[in-house]
Structure 1
Amino acid sequence: MSSDEVYSRISKNNKHMGPIGHILLWIVFFLFVFFLLGCGLFTYYAATAPNISYNTLSSDNSTTIYDKNGKVVSRLGMQNRDYVKSKDIPDNLKNAIISVEDRHFYSDKGVDPVRIVKAAVSNVFGSGGLQGGSTLTQQLVKLSVFSTKSSDQTLKRKAQEAWLAVQVDKAYSKQQILEFYINKVYMGNSAYGMQTASEVLFNKPLSELNLSQTALLAGLPQAPVSYNPVNNPKYAKARRDQVLTAMVKNKTISQAEANKAMKENVQAGINKDTVNNTPTQKDEKYADAYISQVTQELTKKGFNLNAGNKVYTNLDMDVQKKMYDLANSSDSNIAFPDNKFQVGATMVDPNNGKVISMLGSRKQDVAFGLNRAVQTDRSSGSTMKPLMDYGPAIEYLNYPTYQTVKDTPYTYPGTNIQLNDFDNRHEGNITMRKALVESRNIPAIRTLETVGIDRATNFLKGLGMTFEQPLTLQNGIGAYISTEQEAAAYSAFANGGTYYKPYLIDKVVSPTGDTDSFETQSNNAMSESTAFMITQMLTGVINDSNGSGTAARISGLNAAGKTGTTKYPDSQAGSVPDDASMDSWFTGYTRNLSLSVWTGYDHPLEAGNYISQSQTEIAQQFYKEVMSYASSGLPNKNWTKPDDVVKTHTDGSDQYYIEGHAGDLKVDNANTEAQKVDQNKVVTNNNQNNNDQNKNNDNKSNNGTNASNEQNPSNNNQNNNNQNNQNNNNNNQNTQNNNNQNNNQNNQNNQNTQNNQNNNNQNNQNTQNNNNQNNNQNNK
């Protein structure tokens, strides 16, 4: 009967019915229409359902991971499945599964109409996806051809599951369906199928399990991680007992048998050495850390690992193998001190945030072990200075690269903690560029103090860095971040100011052919001028003779970067050498790639687990080898100066300032050529003084509590400071040997001999201590 005929009969009978009868008839009419629409929709959904076959039902549904070129990197689960035939599956296991999952399994036709209706109502009127409406056959269909993401549990998918479950029930016996299910479910510990899980947990086949162990296995598929008997014995016992209770209710075991099994320790017979330590395949060892992060990213995106998805990543397998071989091969160019010495490294494409490669360890055989590339419990040392100190100073205060900063004795406010530089010396007034190139700590903290913690914290937030505890001044020379975070943050310097959140997965293709493609979040972290000026200073870290990162220099490659080391706490004084470090970092970048490297020991307080001064260069050497390899064939572009940035030359280097914010540059430009000649004479005299001082001063002491322990070449080329004399006319730190020369350069000092004498008296102690080191440094 058509809807028109129904409507016609209702109209004819309207004359003989009261109001209640009319309402009831209309309700019947709308229910009939709704039923017809439902049937039509179900027919459409069924017609568009994917195909299902014996191979689909019986094959493994491992997650396949591909690199950026579409080559298989890993098949999670496929390598760890032992198929078991129905005749070898114990009846107790079959009964346990049916009792807890689908009591009407043997009598239904693949679907349970009551469950379907409840699930449909939940989907229409509820706020979540469809859950609790699946028979055992429907669960098998879902595992075989559908995504198991909760967001995919829609009315369409539920209808298709029901249709395909009916087809499967017609085509296969109940025993075959059980066989398919028992071999396909994910059981945790990288094991697919209950036979495999039995071997992993108990080191024996299903046929040798007792009732308690059988019930434990039957309950695992619902939540294999939560019910892991090793990690969560309390919840595992509760789930096992739930299965046993269901078996009693389904009359497959007696209450006495259930009570006896419930008394057994849930961990009895479990081989804890094999649980959570499944070995990787030989061809997966290169990308172990990367694969580990992919699985975590999949979970965060709502995908399950047992859905048979194809996961296409941003992994460059060639670079990944280079990283692995460099850290593990006996032919490596790097002389690691021992096998306990560890490396964590992440390479990112600075133009889109794609994680290209990731190394989580060296000399490690356990699959998915500690991934040191993403750990955030080690201080980053001086690699923090561009991010927290000097970057914000340029962004918020318009500092030029030649901004005068003070390298004078410093005590953290409100404490008696003194901060020192790597050489335990002070250079007075120097440029910001020089302070960063030589990685001097005191100017960095003084700059952060001027910027303010609030503005520095906001700047870091724009670079994807947030912290549970409020930051302090000490964090300006070291914070707890990962190589992944730092590679992504430095990428903003490389690309002109944009931060891209690092990500590993490009797209996921489900067994049905549905594709989820992914991009990343991005934001404008800083101005183009800030990024450019920081980059120009960081090129000096690598290329200047007095830079702290010269071991990372790659001939001919346009690159910038920063070193970082951290010292031992004062409580360890005497137990390690004075120049020992706990951590050593190098983070560098080109226009195409950004790479951050951490090196150190997992337990740095154990005897012998320290990094010597020479070993701090291992991070730079690792960077150099990997970046050289990865940059081969890529365009070697240099950075382009923004229109609002002005280039000049002072302090012996190319310097930059933002237009309209030249600072004290005008004083320097007022010098006459004659004054420049006199200045050169001063430079010549003081180079000799500095050489003499360097020969007599090898003290490379620690930098104070929580300070960076950065090491620089011994010859600091202090003659560059002479040019700062032209910028500072108020105070004169020169010794009497150079008073006449400085008087020639400073007209104000010529007019006031008495003031010069007073200044010399005030600085007399500093002059004696530093023996001509500070002859040409002027405090502004």
Structure 2
Amino acid sequence: MKIFKKFLQILFICGLLGCITLVALYLYVKPDIPSVAVLKDVKLQTPMQVFTRDGKLINQFGEKRRIPVKINDVPDPLLKAFLATEDNRFYEHYGIDPIGIVRSALVLISTGEKRQGASTITMQLARNFFLTREKAYIRKVKEIFIAIHIEQLLSKDEIFELYLNKIELGNRAFGIGAAAQVYYGKSLDELTLAQMAMIAGLPKAPSALNPIRNPERAKARRNVVLSRMLDEGYISTSEYTQATNAPITATFHGAEIELYAPYISEMARAELVAMYGTEQAYNSGIKVYTSVESTMQAAAQTALRDNLYAYDMRHGYRGPVAYLWQNDSEEAVAEQELVQFLKGVSTQADLHAGVVMSVEEQAITVLTKDSERLTIDWEGLKWARTYITQSRQSFAPKTAADILNPGAQIWYRFDADGLPLLAQIPDASSALVSIDPKDGRIKAIVGGYSFEQSQYNRAVQAKRQVGSNIKPFIYSAALEHGYSLATILNDAPINHWDKSQGVAWRPKNSPPKYVGPIRVRRALAQSKNVVSVRLIRGVGVDTTADHLLKFGFKDEDIPRNETLALGSASLTPLELARGMSAFANGGHLVEPYFISSIVTSEDEVLYQAQPLLACSNEQRRKNEVLAEFAELEKMLADESNTDTQLAIDPQIDGLESQQEQTMPSCAPRVISEQNAFLIADAMNSAIWGGGSWQHGTGWNGTGWRATNLKRRDISGKTGTTNNSVDTWFSGFNANVMTTIWVGFDNPGNPLGRTSYNNNLDRGQIFGAESGAKTSQPGWIDFMRVALEDQPYAAVEPPEGLESVRIDLKTGLLSHNNDHTSRFEYFIKGTAPTRYVEKKPPVLFETQTPGDKSQPTEDELF
């Protein structure tokens, strides 16, 4: 009896000491136990996702890839696989598994090593969220207390769901949703049993058991998972056999990108980091909806690349990347080695690497990285005359042997019809930006040929000389200072002696052709350089430069000398598109934007774009009235006449309510509505020309190639700098404004010229490169998609204009109703008042821009 009492005393003391120890341990680790608020508001580190305006994923950024899933959406076999492997008594215990702890302790006593952690799913969740993976006793104690705390606050399903979304599974995949995408490119419900078991086996050692890096070890672990599922009765014997015999099919898959648009997604990433900081931007699950439309963005990327390919092909083939063997001196490399070599060559945009295996009369056979043999016939080869210099190409090839030999490592691509073409990475660069002129929304933007090749975003970073794209702004200044579209100027060479330089400045037309007396409309449409110089002289250099600043250009980019008339100003494509939009929207300066909205992972709106709109005159007047009432309300609030205030307040409240619902904020007006319309209408002539071809007086504008779009509502302007270093085309209707630039990244490198290729059809482009030949074809390809199924949307004539019939030669009024005259728009009060005489006068008086009674001085040239 004494012995039994002693035993009870010792047992009591041990129990008491144990309780004291537990309390002491609890007090010690209590500061590390998360609060109730933290546990109930656990935030998964989810990457930032960037979407198009219509919801297509274009990129995601973050250190951890995660696709959160609800437990009800997880296939039952996958749940059973985790339970069988990690914690089969999960739904029975209270956060810790005593049996597992005893088993772990026995292993520690027998071996002296901590081989088994005895961690339940709840304990693993505690470690993953709040602790480290360090194998230390105090960490295990903390893990136990946190696990018990979690079990008190969350249901089993909530704990299991958090675990499945938090667990690290290798290749930067966190959670089962991301793992299914990374390893198999599938959603959870598309996985096979073998694939589910593979994922369930990864938590033990995500790197060592990775099926991509260590397929054999991963397969062994997968089969262990399947064996445990069989033992627990979760799967049948036949299912087990079939799954264990399944091959390893895991390969690396990127994010489920629906439209790869790296330049706009990088713009969004940089903006979000600036707004929220790196940690919150990358890991809080922010969703960024950009302003671009998926169809237009895809069309812009395709148009830009195809246009660069076309330029590059007409300048000749620069040869293969390398020769892996020489046909006459070396043996061909083994096909298996070639395939492995090709798999290591990264794809460039839509170009693929291949090796020429054989050369026939007018075809070649190419080995691809997929071990396939691809035949490129003569249609895909005949363009490839040899490149000599940027302005010289060799003879047109007659056989495939004139181009390549076996052993050549080449690039190839597929055309729109799926036919393979011999290709090369373009040397030239390009950028395209398209915006909505009504509010500045960027509809599409491409900063270069390949983001992988160069992250430099030329659409927003490259300031290049704009050439004749500056002329609409110069002509706008002229209309502000007394000129009209019917004013006659002299299209003749200029020879200006510069005393300070000791040289003569001789600006020339491009091409150097002159027609003498010419109307302002036609001079702009045909991009007459010397007429632009005469206009800038008539208006004044500083006055013209000040006018250009109204379009949002920076003073340091606008030279204050006569070279401004020829396009010496340097602008980015986005800056130019923004300024040009004023002609499309009635004279307003809109602010381009590329982020439409930002939302949290729970779809709570953090930011919503509120752009300034190009308001109609009616909208602007309503806003002005509202502003007046607001000022009146403020004034009445300071007065003591309550009765008067109460009598007026309902009117104000009604207007304010209307403002909140329908009144937009208006973009500033920088030029008159009439000025904007006249320039846009003259730019329409740059595409559609004028005169009468039947009577021999017809003429083309520099943008005539755009007539194949068969839309009368488009206006445009070409741009080419000296030696064709930079080429541009900008064009618009009331809904879309698009600018494209083509040139070399090295500003001094000219685009050159090409000779006629006898192997190609008669519609080919050749001769000196220019805005019309080099840039405009890409603009046309893009706008064909952008305007598809879009209704007619011309810039409508505003109030304050009048249309009168003028004589085409003199710009004076005309009684004739034939090919010698046309209706022309004038701002009211500026139309000519004198009719053309049947015979031109012999003597004349000099006409100033504001003098409507006399023909111009240049009328007689």
Query: TM-score, with normalisation over the residues of structure 2?
Result: 0.47
Q: Kindly indicate whether the alpha-carbon contact (under 8 Å) linking 1:325 and 1:332 is maintained by their aligned counterparts in 2.
A: no
Name the structure 1 match of 2:783.
627
Going from structure 1 to structure 2, the CA distance change for 1:401 and 1:109 (only over 3 Å counts) comes to: farther
Q: Out of 461, 466, 488, which is 1:404 matched to?
A: 488
Q: Out of 454, 468, 487, which is 2:556 matched to?
A: 468
Matches within 5 A, 1:431-442: 431-442=519-530
Q: Out of 63, 71, 83, which is 2:56 matched to?
A: 71
Going from structure 1 to structure 2, the CA distance change for 1:727 and 1:631 (only over 3 Å counts) comes to: farther
Name the structure 2 match of 1:659.
828
- How far does residue 451 in structure 1 lie from its aligned partner after superposition? 2.8
Q: Out of 261, 269, 274, which is 1:287 matched to?
A: 261
Matches within 5 A, 1:530-549: 530-544=675-689, 545-549=699-703
- How far does residue 351 in structure 1 lie from its aligned partner after superposition? 1.1
- How far does residue 747 in structure 1 lie from its aligned partner after superposition? 13
- How far does residue 68 in structure 1 lie from its aligned partner after superposition? 1.8
- How far does residue 378 in structure 1 lie from its aligned partner after superposition? 1.6
Return the alpha-carbon distance in structure 2 between the equivalents of residues 378 and 366 of structure 1: 23
- Which 5+ residue runs of structure 1 have no aligned equivalent? 1-45, 89-93, 100-104, 111-136, 138-163, 187-204, 209-278, 569-580, 679-724, 733-745, 749-758, 760-775
- How far does residue 335 in structure 1 lie from its aligned partner after superposition? 7.4
Residue by residue, what CA displacement relative to the aligned partner does 1:282-306 show, whole Å, maximum 9, x if unpaired? Answer: 9477422222222233345446344
Q: Out of 298, 311, 317, which is 2:288 matched to?
A: 311
Q: Kindly indicate whether the alpha-carbon contact (under 8 Å) linking 1:437 and 1:540 is maintained by their aligned counterparts in 2.
A: yes
Return the alpha-carbon distance in structure 2 between the equivalents of residues 489 and 108 of structure 1: 66
Q: Kindly indicate whether the alpha-carbon contact (under 8 Å) linking 2:292 and 2:594 is maintained by their aligned counterparts in 1.
A: yes
Going from structure 1 to structure 2, the CA distance change for 1:634 and 1:425 (only over 3 Å counts) comes to: closer
Name the structure 1 match of 2:807.
650
- How far does residue 564 in structure 1 lie from its aligned partner after superposition? 0.4
Secondary structure in 2 matching 1:499:
coil
Return the alpha-carbon distance in structure 1 between the equivalents of residues 597 and 830 of structure 2: 46
Secondary structure in 1 matching 2:786:
helix
The structure that is helix-richer by fraction is: 1
Residue by residue, what CA displacement relative to the aligned partner does 1:290-329 show, whole Å, maximum 9, x if unpaired? Answer: 2222223334544634432111122111122222223336
Going from structure 1 to structure 2, the CA distance change for 1:280 and 1:185 (only over 3 Å counts) comes to: closer
Return the alpha-carbon distance in structure 1 between the equivalents of residues 525 and 585 of structure 2: 21
Return the alpha-carbon distance in structure 1 between the equivalents of residues 287 and 842 of structure 2: 63
Name the structure 2 match of 1:519.
610
Secondary structure in 2 matching 1:622:
helix
Matches within 5 A, 1:148-547: 283=257, 286-302=260-276, 304-328=281-305, 336-337=313-314, 339-362=426-449, 364=450, 366=452, 369-387=455-473, 389-395=474-480, 397-408=481-492, 409-411=494-496, 414-415=500-501, 416=503, 417-468=505-556, 471-473=559-561, 474-478=563-567, 479-515=569-605, 516-521=607-612, 522-544=667-689, 545-547=699-701
Residue by residue, what CA displacement relative to the aligned partner does 1:677-713 show, whole Å, maximum 9, x if unpaired? Answer: x6xxxxxxxxxxxxxxxxxxxxxxxxxxxxxxxxxxx
Secondary structure in 1 matching 2:445:
strand
Name the structure 1 match of 2:711.
556
Letter in 2 for 1:562: K
Going from structure 1 to structure 2, the CA distance change for 1:634 and 1:606 (only over 3 Å counts) comes to: closer
Going from structure 1 to structure 2, the CA distance change for 1:485 and 1:730 (only over 3 Å counts) comes to: same
Alignment of 1:588 with 2:731, yes or no, is yes
- How far does residue 64 in structure 1 lie from its aligned partner after superposition? 1.2
Return the alpha-carbon distance in structure 2 between the equivalents of residues 353 and 449 of structure 1: 33
- How far does residue 638 in structure 1 lie from its aligned partner after superposition? 2.5
Name the structure 2 match of 1:636.
792
Going from structure 1 to structure 2, the CA distance change for 1:292 and 1:644 (only over 3 Å counts) comes to: same
- How far does residue 443 in structure 1 lie from its aligned partner after superposition? 1.7
Q: Kindly indicate whether the alpha-carbon contact (under 8 Å) linking 1:402 and 1:431 is maintained by their aligned counterparts in 2.
A: yes
Q: Kindly indicate whether the alpha-carbon contact (under 8 Å) linking 1:286 and 1:320 is maintained by their aligned counterparts in 2.
A: no
Q: Kindly indicate whether the alpha-carbon contact (under 8 Å) linking 1:286 and 1:324 is maintained by their aligned counterparts in 2.
A: no
Return the alpha-carbon distance in structure 1 between the equivalents of residues 726 and 299 of structure 2: 23
Return the alpha-carbon distance in structure 1 between the equivalents of residues 48 and 300 of structure 2: 25
Residue by residue, what CA displacement relative to the aligned partner does 1:562-620 show, whole Å, maximum 9, x if unpaired? Answer: 0000113xxxxxxxxxxxx1121110001111110111222365597668745431311
Return the alpha-carbon distance in structure 2 between the equivalents of residues 634 and 599 of structure 1: 27
Return the alpha-carbon distance in structure 1 between the equivalents of residues 769 and 514 of structure 2: 26
Secondary structure in 2 matching 1:468:
helix
Going from structure 1 to structure 2, the CA distance change for 1:542 and 1:80 (only over 3 Å counts) comes to: same
- How far does residue 337 in structure 1 lie from its aligned partner after superposition? 3.6
Return the alpha-carbon distance in structure 1 between the equivalents of residues 717 and 854 of structure 2: 39
Return the alpha-carbon distance in structure 2 between the equivalents of residues 410 and 383 of structure 1: 24
Q: Kindly indicate whether the alpha-carbon contact (under 8 Å) linking 1:601 and 1:610 is maintained by their aligned counterparts in 2.
A: no
Alignment of 1:597 with 2:586, yes or no, is no
Secondary structure in 2 matching 1:539:
helix
- How far does residue 633 in structure 1 lie from its aligned partner after superposition? 1.6
Residue by residue, what CA displacement relative to the aligned partner does 1:689-747 show, whole Å, maximum 9, x if unpaired? Answer: xxxxxxxxxxxxxxxxxxxxxxxxxxxxxxxxxxxx57982489xxxxxxxxxxxxx99
Letter in 2 for 1:509: V
Return the alpha-carbon distance in structure 2 between the equivalents of residues 591 and 368 of structure 1: 33
Return the alpha-carbon distance in structure 1 between the equivalents of residues 39 and 555 of structure 2: 47
Going from structure 1 to structure 2, the CA distance change for 1:419 and 1:305 (only over 3 Å counts) comes to: farther
Going from structure 1 to structure 2, the CA distance change for 1:666 and 1:608 (only over 3 Å counts) comes to: closer
Going from structure 1 to structure 2, the CA distance change for 1:582 and 1:185 (only over 3 Å counts) comes to: same
Matches within 5 A, 1:87-166: none
Return the alpha-carbon distance in structure 1 between the equivalents of residues 703 and 434 of structure 2: 18
Q: Kindly indicate whether the alpha-carbon contact (under 8 Å) linking 2:47 and 2:63 is maintained by their aligned counterparts in 1.
A: yes
Q: Out of 19, 29, 47, which is 1:62 matched to?
A: 47
Q: Kindly indicate whether the alpha-carbon contact (under 8 Å) linking 1:410 and 1:442 is maintained by their aligned counterparts in 2.
A: no
Q: Kindly indicate whether the alpha-carbon contact (under 8 Å) linking 2:312 and 2:427 is maintained by their aligned counterparts in 1.
A: no
Identity %: 22
Return the alpha-carbon distance in structure 1 between the equivalents of residues 571 and 539 of structure 2: 21
Going from structure 1 to structure 2, the CA distance change for 1:731 and 1:354 (only over 3 Å counts) comes to: closer
Going from structure 1 to structure 2, the CA distance change for 1:379 and 1:70 (only over 3 Å counts) comes to: same
Secondary structure in 1 matching 2:464:
coil
Secondary structure in 1 matching 2:524:
helix
Name the structure 2 match of 1:52.
41
Going from structure 1 to structure 2, the CA distance change for 1:657 and 1:394 (only over 3 Å counts) comes to: same
Return the alpha-carbon distance in structure 1 between the equivalents of residues 303 and 486 of structure 2: 39
Going from structure 1 to structure 2, the CA distance change for 1:501 and 1:426 (only over 3 Å counts) comes to: same
Deviates more, 1:413-422 or 1:559-568: 413-422
- How far does residue 505 in structure 1 lie from its aligned partner after superposition? 0.8
- How far does residue 509 in structure 1 lie from its aligned partner after superposition? 0.5
Residue by residue, what CA displacement relative to the aligned partner does 1:431-463 show, whole Å, maximum 9, x if unpaired? Answer: 221221111112212322333344434433332
Return the alpha-carbon distance in structure 2 between the equivalents of residues 306 and 184 of structure 1: 17
Query: TM-score, with normalisation over the residues of structure 1?
Result: 0.52
Return the alpha-carbon distance in structure 1 between the equivalents of residues 468 and 266 of structure 2: 29
Return the alpha-carbon distance in structure 2 between the equivalents of residues 440 and 66 of structure 1: 44
Name the structure 2 match of 1:685.
none
